[in-house]
Amino acid sequence: MASPHAGPYHRCMSMEAGRQPITSNGSATSPAAVVEAFLKAMQEEDIEAAMALVDDDIAYTNVSLPTLHGKGRMEKFLAGLDRPQLGFEVYIHAMSTEGSTVLTERTDVLIFGSVRVQLWVCGRFDVHDGRITIWRDYFDWFALTKGVLRGLVGAVVPALGPKPPRS
């Protein structure tokens, strides 16, 4: 179910010339396409589509926080975030792939009611046989704190709130 908060999926950098990320039947064709499809599904709050791109033995880590092991635990965590007042947007600024590893530089927007928290994130995804086996995000706690403060101010005085990320 699409969130009332979910805006359009944002890809700030242009796609590589000639690259076909998704086949006509909707399946991803490369590690980068799997990651893009996963992040888009996350933004659209389509947990079923996101979980279809995750391996049963996934390791999901926000570095400095505990790692979630296994598709079931990750799905349970994500299902807990499926609430009308919560939302997520993603702006991909750069993506690099070497073999089965995809690195992303992006801005994630965490939405809590009228509070929008923008956070720069670097992510690593390992993709094998069309499924994400490792998802590891790196972020700065100080930047998160500033993002929360900007979001709170923006909820009270919208003109002072966060602006959309740029590429």
Q: Which of 108, 126, 129, 140 is catalytic?
A: 108
- Residue 137 bears catalytic tag: yes
- Spatial CA neighbour of 95 closest among 40, 55, 144, 54: 40
- The kind and range of the H/E element at 151 are helix 141-156
Q: Which of 57, 129, 137, 140 is catalytic?
A: 137
- Spatial CA neighbour of 8 closest among 90, 83, 86: 90
- Residue 108 bears catalytic tag: yes
- Spatial CA neighbour of 92 closest among 117, 75, 109: 109
| Strand 101-112 with 86-98, pairing | antiparallel
Catalytic center residues: 108, 137
